[in-house]
């Protein structure tokens, strides 16, 4: 029996039940993935015991010889993976990385541009209930009503009018690629810095299945646990000249002691992401999303912006006469785990929503491909067209569980 099972059967039982849930359901939340056994092992390592405030070679505590080694390795791997001049691997979450980036390159009260939250922007891109909206004057840019793609003309006009310190791009529910080159041009013409929050698509960038923002952006932030498939955490990249400012903003600016166990796991994940196997994974994730999108459209569903260039798809449930909340709950009843999301110019509240956000990172990690995506689309269409049909949900749930059990889960049923 495991130490946890012996020591604390109550917690162990809950984790064991979660193993079953992660194995028997189809995980299509676009921001989730399965970390490898190696990443999990590093995350659960004794590095959690060590305080290492500061940076390699410049710590505030003794005993950091191995903390220095592991953080230096993670930094080198991150720089190599993303072809960046400077990397900070200490941010404990995406929100924290963004807080540090703003602290490094703007002052409270400054104007920043960010994608309208109801159109896919993140909470930390200026939500009034988040520190970003409380401390900075965020002005939102939007997507075109017709194409549902970011309208670069509005971005240019807003930038010229408001002269922001930073233009922030990247999103949580945007199925298309951002035009980093145009964003950089607009930012630099107006004396602003460009910040790209690549949290969602970092793994695709690492695997060469998505353009990299690094050559264009002044600062790049990212989570490490989404398409990148690492431990929960984040990183920030910048140019050499801005490195000291960024580091200072992470520590002592926004954080205390770094999470050395997570940093070790990030090093492992960066190593994994630099392999040809991961390149194939990134390409497959995008290919699976394109197939899934096409199959959903053939089934009569409307997708925001008409499709996807990434791992992410946003379904407009209003054409089915149901809300995103209803769609999420119906699919959950069928063992398919997704999340409701607003769509551009949504008429429903952010709690109810008209959209459903789905993605292929986790299922692709289980080795699923084109055939499985078509099967999945058929189930989704079937359930969403009869969201109140208990019989439908129940029969799909049984099929899903049986189907899902035959695909290995990284970190659970295989390495």
Ligand X SMILES: *Cc1c(COP(=O)(O)O)cnc(C)c1O
Token pair 């189907």 is at which residue? 403
DSSP string, 267-320: HHHHHHHTSHHHHHHHHHHHHHHHHHHHHHHHTT-EEGGGS-SSSEEEEEGGGG
CA distances, 72 to each of 75, 86, 100, 231, 274 (Å): 5, 12, 20, 17, 17
200 binds ligand X (CB under 6 A): yes
Q: How far is the CB of 269 from ligand X (least distance, A)?
A: 14
Q: What is the dihedral of CA 306, 311, 316, 320, to 10 degrees?
A: 100
32 is catalytic: no
DSSP string, 41-76: HHHTSGGGG----EETTEESSS--HHHHHHHHHHHH
232 is catalytic: yes
Q: How far is the CB of 98 from ligand X (least distance, A)?
A: 6
Q: How far is the CB of 412 from ligand X (least distance, A)?
A: 22
Distance CA 185, CA 187 (A): 5
96 is catalytic: no
Stretch that binds ligand X, among 140-148, 166-174, 310-318, 381-389 (CB under 6 A): 166-174
CA distances, 227 to each of 35, 252, 282 (Å): 10, 29, 8
393 is catalytic: no
Q: What is the dihedral of CA 192, 198, 199, 202, to 10 degrees?
A: -150
Among residues 51, 110, 248, 287, the one annotated as catalytic is: 51
Q: How far is the CB of 390 from ligand X (least distance, A)?
A: 34
Residue whose CB is less far from ligand X, 170 or 355: 170
Stretch that binds ligand X, among 132-140, 168-176, 281-289, 340-348 (CB under 6 A): 168-176
117 binds ligand X (CB under 6 A): no
55 is catalytic: no
197 is catalytic: yes
Among residues 32, 53, 110, 399, the one annotated as catalytic is: 53
90 binds ligand X (CB under 6 A): no
Q: How far is the CB of 130 from ligand X (least distance, A)?
A: 10
Token pair 């796991």 is at which residue? 265
Using CB under 6 A, pick the residue from 172, 308, 328, 342 that binds ligand X. Answer: 172
Catalytic positions are 51, 53, 197, 223, 226, 232
Contacts to ligand X by CB under 6 A:
31, 93-95, 98, 122, 124, 170-172, 197, 199-200, 223, 234
């Amino acid at each position: 029996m495991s130490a946890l099972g012996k020591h604390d059967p109550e917690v162990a039982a809950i984790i064991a039940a979660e193993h079953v849930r992660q194995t028997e359901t189809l995980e299509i939340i676009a921001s989730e993935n399965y970390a490898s056994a190696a990443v999990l092992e590093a995350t659960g390592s004794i590095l959690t015991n060590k305080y290492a405030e500061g940076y390699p070679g410049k710590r505030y505590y003794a005993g950091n010889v191995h903390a220095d080694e592991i953080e230096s390795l993670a930094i080198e791997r991150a720089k190599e993976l993303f072809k960046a001049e400077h990397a900070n691997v200490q941010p404990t979450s995406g929100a924290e990385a963004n807080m540090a980036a703003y602290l490094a390159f703007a002052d409270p009260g400054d104007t920043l541009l960010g994608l309208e939250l109801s159109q896919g922007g993140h909470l930390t891109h200026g939500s009034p209930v988040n520190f970003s909206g409380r401390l900075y004057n965020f002005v939102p840019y939007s997507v075109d009503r017709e194409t549902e793609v970011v309208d670069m003309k509005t971005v240019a006009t807003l930038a010229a009018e408001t002269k922001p310190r930073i233009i922030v791009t990247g999103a949580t529910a945007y199925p298309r690629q951002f035009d980093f080159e145009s964003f950089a041009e607009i930012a630099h013409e107006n004396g602003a810095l460009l910040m790209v929050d690549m949290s969602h698509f970092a793994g695709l960038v690492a695997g060469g299945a998505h353009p990299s923002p690094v050559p264009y952006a002044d600062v790049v932030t990212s989570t490490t646990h989404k398409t990148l498939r690492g431990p929960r955490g984040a990183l920030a990249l910048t140019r050499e000249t801005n490195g000291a400012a960024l580091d200072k903003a992470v520590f002592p600016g926004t954080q205390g002691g770094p999470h050395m166990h997570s940093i070790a796991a990030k090093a492992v994940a960066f190593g994994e992401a630099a392999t040809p196997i991961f390149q194939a994974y990134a390409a497959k994730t995008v290919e699976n999303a394109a197939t899934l999108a096409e199959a959903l459209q053939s089934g009569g569903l409307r997708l925001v912006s008409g499709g996807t260039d990434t791992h992410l798809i946003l379904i407009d449930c209003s054409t089915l006469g149901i809300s995103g909340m209803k769609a999420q709950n119906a699919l959950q009843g069928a063992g398919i785990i997704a999340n409701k999301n607003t769509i551009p110019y949504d008429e429903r509240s952010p709690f109810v929503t008209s959209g459903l956000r789905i993605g292929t990172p986790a299922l692709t990690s289980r080795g699923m491909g084109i055939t499985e995506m078509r099967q999945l689309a058929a189930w989704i269409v079937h359930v969403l067209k009869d969201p109140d049909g208990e019989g439908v949900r129940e029969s799909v749930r049984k099929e899903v569980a049986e189907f899902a059990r035959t695909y290995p889960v990284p970190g659970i049923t295989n390495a």
